[in-house]
C-alpha cells in the first residue's frame, strides 16, 4: 500500500508542512526511520530523532515547535499518538481476512455458527455453543459446550474457553489464554487434607474486551466472574474466581487479582500489581507497578504505590527515610556507645 502525505493529511484532518506529494509505503519508529516510512512524534524524549530520521513523513502535534531544521514532511494533528493509532487500524483492516471453515475443524452437534465466520484448522466448537457473525476462531482453539461467542470477535491460536462461558461482541483474546478454568477453591479438612470445592459458575466477558496472551481467568464458584465492557488486560495476568472488573479498566502484565475482589471502573494498574481477595477498589484508582493491595481502596481516583500500597505522596516521603536507614542506624549505634561511656563514667 502506498499513500501520499496529502492523502494521509486529508484522512487525519491534518496540516502539511513540506512536500504534499511525498509517498510512504511503510511505518517505522522515528529513530529507525527510512525513506518511504511514516513515523510519529508525541513524546518530547524522542524529539532529537526528528532532526536525523530518514522517514519521509512524521506526524506531530499541532502545537509542536521544532528547534532545528526538519527534512521530513510534517503533518500536524491534534494528537499525534491517536492519529498514528488510527492509521495503524486502517492498515490492519487492509490485510486479507481469513474466511471459511477448515475441514479439520470439529463443530459438535447443536453448535451454531453465524455468517462470515472463520474457523481454523483443528479448532473445536462444543455442543450447544454459538459463534456470532463475523467472528474468527483461529487454529487449535477449544470452545467448550454451551459457550457463547458474540459477533466480530477474534479468538487467536490455542485459546481455551471452558463450558458455559459468555464472550460479548468485538472481543479479542490472544494466544494461550484460558478462560473458565476452575477457581482456586479447596476446603481444609480435619486430617490436614483439602477437599476440592466444585466451581459451577462461569466467566462473562462483556463487549469490546481485549485479553492478552497466556492470561488465566477463573470461573466463579457460583455466579460469574465478570469482565465489564471495554476492559483491556495485558499478557500473563491472573484473575481469580468471582472477581469483577469494572468498565474500561486496564491492567499491565503479571498482575494478579485474588478471588471475590471487585475492581471499579476506569482503573489503571501497572505491571506485577497484586490484590488480595475479597477487597473493593474504587473507580479511577491508579496503582503503580508492583503495588501490593491488602485492604479496600475507598477513595476514587486515588494514586497508590508500594507494598503494602499507600498514597503515592506518602510513599515518596517514607522512601526518603528508607534510603537514610543505613545512616540512621550508624547514628543510633554511635549514640548508644556515647551513652554507655557516660554511664561508665
Looking at the annotation, which residues are catalytic? 241
117: CB partners within 8 A, 6+ apart:
101, 131, 132, 133, 134, 135, 136, 137
Strand partners, 41: 60
Q: Give the residue carrying C-alpha cell 483461529.
A: 138
Cell of 57: 513523513
Residues 6+ apart with CB under 8 A from 55: 24, 28, 30, 33, 34, 35, 37, 38, 39, 72
* Nearest Cα residue to 35 out of 16, 46, 45, 22: 22
Percent helix, strand, coil in the chain, to 5, is 20, 30, 50
Q: What's the rounded Cα separation, in Å, for the pair 241 and 180?
A: 9
Cα 341 to Cα 157, 333, 336, 337, 345, distances in angstroms? 74, 13, 9, 6, 6
**DSSP code string of 218-259:** EPPSSSEEEE-TT-EE-SS-EE-TT-EE-TT-EE-TT-EE-T
Q: Pick from 303, 306, 250, 309: which is nearest to 279 by CA?
A: 309
Amino acid at each position: 500500500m502506498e499513500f501520499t502525505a496529502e492523502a494521509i493529511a486529508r484522512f487525519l484532518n491534518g496540516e502539511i508542512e513540506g512536500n504534499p506529494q511525498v509517498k510512504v509505503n511503510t511505518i517505522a519508529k522515528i529513530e529507525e526511520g527510512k525513506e518511504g516510512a511514516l513515523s510519529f512524534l508525541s513524546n518530547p524524549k524522542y524529539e532529537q530523532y526528528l532532526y536525523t530520521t530518514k522517514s519521509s513523513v512524521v506526524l506531530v502535534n499541532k502545537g509542536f515547535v521544532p528547534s532545528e531544521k526538519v527534512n521530513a514532511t510534517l503533518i500536524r494533528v491534534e494528537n499525534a499518538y491517536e492519529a498514528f493509532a488510527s492509521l495503524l487500524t486502517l492498515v490492519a483492516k487492509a490485510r486479507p481476512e481469513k474466511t471459511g471453515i477448515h475441514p479439520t475443524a470439529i463443530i459438535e452437534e447443536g453448535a451454531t455458527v453465524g455468517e462470515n465466520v472463520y474457523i481454523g484448522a483443528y479448532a473445536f466448537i462444543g455442543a450447544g455453543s454459538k459463534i456470532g457473525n463475523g467472528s474468527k476462531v483461529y487454529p487449535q482453539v477449544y470452545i467448550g459446550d454451551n459457550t457463547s461467542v458474540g459477533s466480530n470477535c477474534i479468538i487467536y491460536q490455542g485459546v481455551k474457553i471452558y463450558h458455559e462461558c459468555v464472550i460479548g461482541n468485538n472481543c479479542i483474546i490472544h494466544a494461550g489464554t484460558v478462560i473458565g478454568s476452575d477457581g482456586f477453591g479447596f476446603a481444609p479438612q480435619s486430617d490436614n487434607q483439602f477437599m476440592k470445592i466444585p466451581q459451577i459458575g462461569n466467566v462473562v466477558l462483556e463487549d469490546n474486551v481485549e485479553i492478552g496472551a497466556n492470561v488465566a481467568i477463573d470461573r466463579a464458584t457460583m455466579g460469574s466472574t465478570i469482565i465489564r465492557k471495554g476492559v483491556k488486560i495485558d499478557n500473563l495476568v491472573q484473575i481469580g474466581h468471582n472477581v469483577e472488573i469494572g468498565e474500561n479498566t486496564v491492567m499491565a502484565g503479571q498482575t494478579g487479582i485474588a478471588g471475590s475482589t471487585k475492581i471499579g471502573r476506569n482503573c489503571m494498574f501497572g505491571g506485577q500489581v497484586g490484590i488480595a481477595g475479597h477487597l473493593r477498589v474504587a473507580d479511577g484508582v491508579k496503582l503503580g507497578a508492583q503495588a501490593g493491595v491488602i485492604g479496600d481502596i475507598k477513595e476514587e481516583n486515588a494514586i497508590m504505590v508500594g507494598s503494602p500500597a499507600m498514597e503515592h505522596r506518602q510513599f515518596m516521603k517514607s522512601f526518603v527515610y528508607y534510603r537514610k536507614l543505613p545512616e540512621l542506624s550508624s547514628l543510633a549505634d554511635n549514640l548508644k556507645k556515647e551513652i554507655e561511656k557516660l554511664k561508665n563514667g
